[in-house]
């Protein structure tokens, strides 16, 4: 149980509702900041503004999956008020206060470094990323179906990247009968693709594998679908780029060539917020339980 552990949930989207449910079940003391328009009641949970936080008793801060913007502002789907994390108030929290975020950002890293607070990036964990790949792939599959006039079965699909999401993506499209080619850089990834029964290629050879593609799905957060590559791609093709900003596609040139290119972020929150929230909530609660079972004497200090 997390009885006596003071946690501040700072902004977020529908996924955070499942996180709140999980932490509330564990009897944590919860303050919700950026949820004033949320039409839901949680017994024993407080909805407050940033200035009302009792900083000196905060054991953990939970940020949205997206972390913060360049000025420290966090996403607040359930509020019109601006919510920011700042060095001034973070300095007022106890030394053991830990920040949990989906990803880190330059602002968050600098703020935490200055205040000497630990930042835990949940989406850097293999378990979270692998679990999260499931709703990501389901959402991508939905978008491909909605934006093409052919079946996935027997279509030519190119997937770029064999990371935790790319592997789930490749397996799913292969299972649906697509002709799947997967581009990667590492020799071990190329070997794994062949072992999985798909066609591997090195990213530097992408131009050779893009000439007859129906669907291209990019998971690599660097410019791989350059103008030179796109010039070899048929205009009928669909690109679904799920890589973090700014994506891996030259979207301007894709539009010029008449290639439909979608840059889609936060797919789990769009298609399965309850499942995605439960994934985050379960892992977060395990981390908090591990921390405060071992360091019980720090609570409330």
Specify the CATH class of 127-265 in words.
alpha beta
What's the pLDDT tens digit per position in 187-221?
999 999 999 999 999 999 999 999 999 999 999 99
Q: What gap in Å lies between CA 288 and CA 275, rounded to an integer?
A: 20
The structural architecture, per CATH, of the domain 6-124+273-298 is 3-Layer(aba) Sandwich (3.40)
Domain ranges of the chain: 6-124+273-298, 127-265
Task: Provide the pairing of β-strand 260-263 with 29-33.
Answer: unpaired
Answer with the residue of higher pLDDT: 39 or 183.
Answer: 183
Give the pLDDT of residue 125. Answer: 93
Q: What gap in Å lies between CA 55 and CA 59, rounded to an integer?
A: 9
Q: What gap in Å lies between CA 184 and CA 190, rounded to an integer?
A: 6
Tell me the average pLDDT of the chain: 94
Residue 295: pLDDT over 70: no
For 118-169, give the DSSP string. Answer: EEEEGGGSHHHHHHHHHHHHHHHHHHHHHT-SS-STT-EEEEE--SHHHHHH
Q: What is the DSSP letter of 287?
A: H
Per-residue pLDDT band at 300 (split at 50, 70, 90): very low
Give the pLDDT of residue 42. Answer: 87
Instruction: Decide whether 6-124+273-298 matches 127-265 in CATH topology.
Output: yes
Q: Taking the complete model, does pTM exceed 0.75, yes or no?
A: yes
């Amino acid at each position: 149980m997390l009885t006596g552990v003071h946690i501040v949930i700072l902004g977020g989207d529908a996924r955070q509702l499942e996180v709140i449910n999980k932490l509330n079940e564990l009897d944590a003391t919860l303050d919700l900041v950026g949820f004033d328009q949320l039409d839901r009641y949680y017994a024993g949970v407080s909805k407050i503004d940033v200035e009302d936080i009792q900083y000196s008793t905060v054991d953990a801060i939970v940020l949205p999956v997206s972390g913060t913007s360049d000025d420290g502002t966090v996403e607040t789907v359930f509020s019109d008020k601006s919510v920011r994390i700042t060095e001034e108030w973070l300095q007022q929290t106890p030394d053991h206060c830990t920040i949990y975020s989906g990803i880190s950002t330059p602002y968050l890293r600098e703020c935490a470094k200055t205040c000497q607070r630990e930042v835990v990036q949940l989406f850097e964990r293999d378990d979270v990323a692998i679990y999260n790949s499931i709703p990501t792939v389901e959402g991508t599959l939905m978008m491909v179906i909605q934006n093409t006039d052919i079946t996935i079965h027997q279509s030519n699909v190119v997937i770029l990247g064999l990371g935790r999401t790319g592997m789930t993506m490749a397996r799913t499209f292969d299972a649906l009968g697509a002709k799947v080619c997967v581009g990667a850089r590492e020799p071990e990834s190329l070997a794994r693709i062949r072992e999985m029964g798909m066609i591997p290629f090195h990213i530097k050879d992408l131009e050779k594998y893009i000439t007859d593609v129906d669907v291209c799905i990019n998971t690599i957060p660097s410019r791989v679908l350059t103008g030179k590559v796109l010039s070899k791609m048929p205009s009928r093709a669909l690109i679904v780029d799920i890589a973090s900003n700014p994506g891996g596609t030259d979207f301007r040139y894709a539009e010029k060539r008449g290639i439909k290119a979608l840059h889609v972020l936060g797919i789990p929150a769009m298609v399965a917020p309850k499942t995605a929230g439960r994934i985050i909530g379960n892992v977060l609660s395990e981390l908090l339980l591990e921390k405060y079972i071992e360091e019980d004497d720090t609570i409330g200090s």
